[in-house]
Amino acid sequence: MVTPVLQIEDLAVEFTTPEGVLRAVDGVSYSVDAGETLAVVGETGSGKSVTVLAALGLLDAGRIVSGRVMFDGLDLLRLPDKKLRRLLGSNLTMVFQNPMSALNPVMTVGRQVAETLVVHDRKLTNKGARGRAIELLALVGVPQPDVRFNQYPHEFSGGMCQRVVIAMAIANNPRVIIADEPTTAVDVTVQAQLLDLLQVAREETGAGVVLITHDLGVVAEVADRVAVMYAGRVVETAPVRNIFRAPQHPYTVGLLSCLPRLDSTVEELVPIPGSPANLLIRSPGCAFQPRCGLSADRDICTSDRPELAAAAADSAAAGSWAACHFADETTAWSAREHLVREPS
């Protein structure tokens, strides 16, 4: 059995707002294995970012109410700041949506990559760091890396900056790379290149990759497994092929039915009908119930909160887990309603 490189267990995070206490992350568990890409999907506000920020001690507000985040036998939530900071940037790295926020505007690109190396390897000479930084820039596809080494971030396009950020993320052979919508800020052609690059990075380092994305097309292309989040909870986790062929949670079906058609010019997902859950109100039942076409006012959906449960081993969804009282009905229901389109 493979041991996960990162394992988030029962993580809960709350924010105190003028309207009351908002539970943004409500008992999230997921894990990623070495060399695996786990895609985390879910509509805006479902807690994807807060989950990873909390896991890595990077939350600037909010309170972690419960949970463990196991990495290398250590619980990151209970690690002294200094130790955690040493792990971040070396063993555990992050790539954010906006590369500009990750780069220092007044330092040359090359020096930033070189410093990432030196911080985690004190024995590295300046010359050695420079050489390795140029190698890394070449690896991530920065042309003329020895020239580009001496340039500043504003001399790079957004896509090139994100390549630099990825170079920094893989510089110290990480075991886990977390990428939070890494391609949202760049145009479509560059998106595909950056995703390829993340795959190369994963192969080079053997790291487990957590890829947060809105784009189910991306999921189909790069993910091994998928965690679907809704209202601060994981509602389904499954091998990627199961997600498209035999979705177990009605919310997953909703996401799939919002996939843009091939002939469509719209790249964004069309939202699922109904309003996202109000995180200020914790109902005793399933948070998706008010928008769910499968629930059909069955009482248990409003009275009991479903926990993740495994699909039958002899079903098409073997290996999937879903938090739905009627998960075993979902695939047939979605086929009946013609809600699911297979991605190209």
Ligand X SMILES: Nc1ncnc2c1ncn2[C@@H]1O[C@H](COP(=O)(O)OP(=O)(O)OP(=O)(O)O)[C@@H](O)[C@H]1O
Compare residues 2 and 21 and give the one whose CB is closer to ligand X: 21
Task: Restricting to residues 25-44, name those near ligand X by CB under 6 A.
Answer: 42, 44
Compare residues 36 and 215 and give the one whose CB is closer to ligand X: 215
- Decide if 22 contacts 280 (C-beta within 8 A): yes
- Round to whole Å and give the CA distance between 306 and 287: 9
Query: Is residue 279 part of the contact set for ligand X (CB under 6 A)?
Result: yes
Backbone angles phi, psi at 190, to 5 degrees: -70, -30
Choose the contact partner of 47 out of Mg ion, ligand X, none; CB within 5 to 8 A by kind.
ligand X
Query: Is residue 49 part of the contact set for ligand X (CB under 6 A)?
Result: yes
Choose the contact partner of 17 out of Mg ion, ligand X, none; CB within 5 to 8 A by kind.
ligand X
Query: Is residue 61 part of the contact set for ligand X (CB under 6 A)?
Result: yes
- Round to whole Å and give the CA distance between 249 and 104: 43
**Closest C-alpha to 236, from 246, 248, 225:** 248
Query: Is residue 110 part of the contact set for ligand X (CB under 6 A)?
Result: no
Query: Is residue 48 part of the contact set for ligand X (CB under 6 A)?
Result: yes
Query: Is residue 21 part of the contact set for ligand X (CB under 6 A)?
Result: no
Compare residues 206 and 274 and give the one whose CB is closer to ligand X: 274
- Round to whole Å and give the CA distance between 183 and 69: 26
CB burial string 263-281: b at 16+ within 10 A, e below:
eeeeeebeebeeebbebee
Choose which of 22, 190, 200, 258 interacts with ligand X (CB under 6 A).
Answer: 22
Nearest distance in Å: CB 44, ligand X: 3
Choose which of 4, 35, 45, 89 interacts with ligand X (CB under 6 A).
Answer: 45
Nearest distance in Å: CB 318, Mg ion: 31
Nearest distance in Å: CB 48, Mg ion: 5
- Round to whole Å and give the CA distance between 237 and 41: 10
Nearest distance in Å: CB 327, Mg ion: 26
Query: Is residue 334 part of the contact set for ligand X (CB under 6 A)?
Result: no
- Round to whole Å and give the CA distance between 62 and 64: 7
In sequence order, the β-bridge partners of residue 234 are 229
Query: Is residue 140 part of the contact set for ligand X (CB under 6 A)?
Result: no
Q: What one-character-per-residue DSSP string does 284-311 give? A: SS-TTGGG-TTTTT-HHHHHSPPPPEEP
Tell me the window of 15-23, 64-72, 160-168, 237-245 that interacts with ligand X (CB under 6 A): 15-23
Compare residues 50 and 167 and give the one whose CB is closer to ligand X: 50
Question: What residues line the site for Mg ion (CB under 5 A)?
Answer: 49
**Closest C-alpha to 36, from 168, 177, 197:** 177
DSSP run (H or E) holding 168: helix 158-170
**Position of tokens 């190209």?**
344
Nearest distance in Å: CB 213, ligand X: 9
The Cβ of residue 57 has, within 10 Å, a number of other Cβ atoms equal to 16
Choose the contact partner of 50 out of Mg ion, ligand X, none; CB within 5 to 8 A by kind.
ligand X
Nearest distance in Å: CB 12, ligand X: 12
Compare residues 18 and 73 and give the one whose CB is closer to ligand X: 18
Query: Is residue 320 part of the contact set for ligand X (CB under 6 A)?
Result: no
Choose which of 31, 46, 116, 320 interacts with ligand X (CB under 6 A).
Answer: 46
The 20-33 sheet, strands edge to edge:
20-33, 4-17, 63-71, 74-75
Choose the contact partner of 331 out of ligand X, Mg ion, none; CB within 5 to 8 A by kind.
none
CB-count exposure of residue 127 (10 Å: 0-12, 13-18, 19+) = exposed
Nearest distance in Å: CB 258, ligand X: 14
Query: Is residue 169 part of the contact set for ligand X (CB under 6 A)?
Result: no
**Closest C-alpha to 34, from 191, 158, 161, 207:** 207
What lies within 8 Å, CB to CB, of 265 at 6+ separation is none
**Given the rule CB under 6 A, which residues bind ligand X?**
15, 17, 22, 24, 42, 44-50, 61-62, 279
